[in-house]
Amino acid sequence: MIAFIASAVFCFVLWLLLTFNGRMWGTDEIIAGIVMAAIAGFAARKIFVKDFKLANPKRWIFFLAYLPRFFFEMAKANFDVAYRVLTGRIRPGIVKISPGLKTDLAITVLANSITLTPGTLSVDVDEERNLYVHWINVKDEVLEKMPRECRPICSTFPDWARRIGE
């Protein structure tokens, strides 16, 4: 029931945003929005709401604090990839990292962050939540030890993912 209400409210807010045209909404628009939001919320309630972790405001504050750093890393990533596109200097490989995260939400945040930041692309994940990362410029010092170090690959992202997702 709570899942249904949360998804319906989310859909209704999205409807209001999409139909806003500088003036107030008409009554007909709002009624149509409520009907549509109820239908969509009922259909999507099991996809949108798996558990109630995201209801904790602490996670949202950490997420907002994470965004500026994430965008900075992303801008850096783009110059790095631009350099490799123009020069063709690549040394690719797939490495396994064990960030030690416990929840699916945390590993999702981490995998998406890894894909959008310097020279790394998450390929697969196994049952123990180890990530397999395609790295475009493999460094030699990481290859020496078998439990690979996280730091050269994804800097401090596992810590942020832990704060947001656990």
Which one among 85, 89, 100, 166 touches other proteins, defined by CB under 8 A? 85
Q: How far is the CB of 1 from other proteins (least distance, A)?
A: 27
Cα torsion 140, 146, 149, 154: sign: positive
Q: Is 145 in the site for other proteins (CB under 8 A)?
A: no
**Tokens coding 81:** 């990839």
Nearer to other proteins, 98 or 103 (CB): 98
| Helical H segments across the chain, by residue range | 2-19, 27-48, 57-87, 104-116, 140-144, 151-154, 157-165
**Are 60 and 22 a contacting pair, CB within 8 Å?**
no
Q: From the list 1, 17, 47, 64, which residue makes contact with other proteins (rule: CB under 8 A)?
A: 17
Q: Is 13 in the site for other proteins (CB under 8 A)?
A: no
CB of 122 to other proteins, least distance (A): 6
Closest to 114 measured CA to CA, from 122, 125, 106, 124: 122
- By CB under 8 A, name the binding residues for other proteins: 14, 17-18, 20-23, 74-75, 77-78, 81-82, 84-86, 88, 90-96, 111-112, 115-116, 119, 121-124, 126, 132, 134, 136, 138, 143, 148
